[in-house]
Amino acid sequence: MKPLRIAVGGLSHETNTFASWHTELVDFEANGYFRGDELRSQAGTNTVVGGAIEAIDSDPSIELIPLIATSAIPGGFVTARAVNEIEGEIVAGLRISRPDAVVLDLHGAMVTELSDDGESETLARVRDIVGPNTPVVAVLDLHANVSQRMVDLASALIPYDTYPHVDNAERGREAVAIATRAARGEIAPVTALVKLPLLPPGPKQFSKVEPTKSIMARAFDLEATPGVINVGVTYSFPYADCPFPGMGVIVTTDGDRVLAERIGRELADFIWERREAFRPDVMTVEQAVHAAMSDPDGPIVLADLGDNPGGGSAGDGTALLWGLLDLGAPNAAFATLADPEVAAAAFAAGEGATIQVELGGKADDLHGFPIPVTAIVRSLSSGDFIYEGPMNSGVADTLGRTAVLACDGRYDNKVEVIVCERRVQALDAAIYRSQGIEPAEKKIIAVKSAVHFRSSFDSIAKRIIEVDTPGLTSVDFSRFPYRRLPRPIWPLDNI
């Protein structure tokens, strides 16, 4: 029997439309751009493409057709040039290979210069080539802003089930299984989307707390209904001023549209009743630093919610760092502060030198002011590291040129700050360890991350405090000048 040929590719970006800069082709190239057989380098990593390749390689009756896969760090609008180039390569690969099915790693909250609904454009271009009958299964991020057009163009949309996102490879394997069965005519997927006027702040989307814990448990129960292929929940990406934010329930069944719609509405009602539980428990910078300092235990992890580069913010926000320096936090470390200028100054001065710099707060006026500091350059490095996991396990990444600066605080305290060239979410303890800092030995650890850091730091942290800092990923949505968001929507509107 001829093997089934499944094409695998990806284009993933979470677009923060409030960011003042655009996301260019070079931002995708700098973050990992895998063409053709280079995709195989992702095998063994906890990524969608890694899981898809593993599933195909383990089944001799399927053959991998590698397209291209790329993603960029979340940020501003994706340029027309970037999206045309990347989609063009995906389409060219499909035109040559004519696969039996397609599996895509998309995000679901991409906004480009050409479209508010980026993924539906990608799917439309793929459909154009493969026609209406070839299965196209896409894995989406849990933070997708799903549109009906995306649902109509794909055969099935499979969102991650976890936050932190640790099931990426598993969803990649699931997508291959669905695509394979659909291509063989064993199933006929139909999908229903139920959207909710609900924009939950990030912290309570953590899989281990309410209401998310109950919501996903209910979703898994419903997924076990005979005839159901997948039940997914998208928690939406709130920092996109366009018509598509809002939670969604996506139900795929084997040919039964009525069942898909019924289950979708049932789960949507279950979520709606629990919306108040999404309100986050946050502290101000002062409250958080004082709480950490007065706690007899350690390490205490402080999450810099408002400046999470993983949600498209500047990564150079200084509000929490100011608190640590000025309130006298002892034995504290901070990861990461993206400031290429200060990294360059540290490299020019050399290890062991004392420098005086204006640290952070340069990208825009939303992330605090630059802080004048005197600092010793503890170490310099290329910033390369490999994620220890569970999230992104095995993936190689880089902070760019990186300096560890021991910065003088106001009360003879020193705060060790990892200053680097690139905006990288501090979600993995490997980032600290790659710079010679063992987070378990610190009293206070600050991370620019909202929830993802929990997958790595939960085992180290004696306590986690969520800090309401300003910035492009602030949990207080009333700080954003929305104009195009569908209204009313909770919690901006009292519904």
Residues that bind Zn ion (CB under 5 A): 141, 143
Cβ neighbours for 406, distance < 8 A, ≥ 6 positions apart: 375, 376, 378, 414, 415, 416
The single residue listed with the structure tokens 């040039």 is 81
**Which position's Cβ is nearest Zn ion?**
143
Q: Whose Cβ is closer to Zn ion: residue 446's or residue 451's?
A: 451
What SS3 class is residue 90?
Answer: helix
Residue 227 carries which DSSP code?
A: T
CA–CA separation, 307 vs 320, rounded Å? 10
Instruction: Give the number of other CB atoms < 10 A from CB of residue 363.
Output: 21
Cβ neighbours for 153, distance < 8 A, ≥ 6 positions apart: 120, 123, 124, 126, 127, 136
Provide the minimum distance between the beta carbon of 143 and Zn ion in the complex, in angstroms, as a whole number.
Answer: 4
Q: Which residues of 419-433 are buried (b: 16+ CB within 10 A; e: fewer)?
A: bbbbbbbbbbbbbbe
Provide the minimum distance between the beta carbon of 138 and Zn ion in the complex, in angstroms, as a whole number.
Answer: 15
Provide the minimum distance between the beta carbon of 230 and Zn ion in the complex, in angstroms, as a whole number.
Answer: 18
Nearest to 247 by CA among 195, 193, 311: 195
Instruction: Confirm if 158 and 140 have CB atoms less than 8 A apart.
Output: yes
CA–CA separation, 439 vs 263, rounded Å? 44
Provide the minimum distance between the beta carbon of 346 and Zn ion in the complex, in angstroms, as a whole number.
Answer: 32
Cβ neighbours for 266, distance < 8 A, ≥ 6 positions apart: 222
For 272, the token pair is: 């709606």
CA–CA separation, 61 vs 64, rounded Å? 10
What SS3 class is residue 222?
Answer: helix
How far is residue 443 from each of residues 180, 336, 377, 378, 421, measured CA to CA in Å?
Answer: 51, 17, 21, 19, 26
Provide the minimum distance between the beta carbon of 239 and Zn ion in the complex, in angstroms, as a whole number.
Answer: 12
Provide the minimum distance between the beta carbon of 313 and Zn ion in the complex, in angstroms, as a whole number.
Answer: 14
Q: Whose Cβ is closer to Zn ion: residue 14's or residue 89's?
A: 14
Provide the minimum distance between the beta carbon of 165 and Zn ion in the complex, in angstroms, as a whole number.
Answer: 6
Provide the minimum distance between the beta carbon of 69 and Zn ion in the complex, in angstroms, as a whole number.
Answer: 17
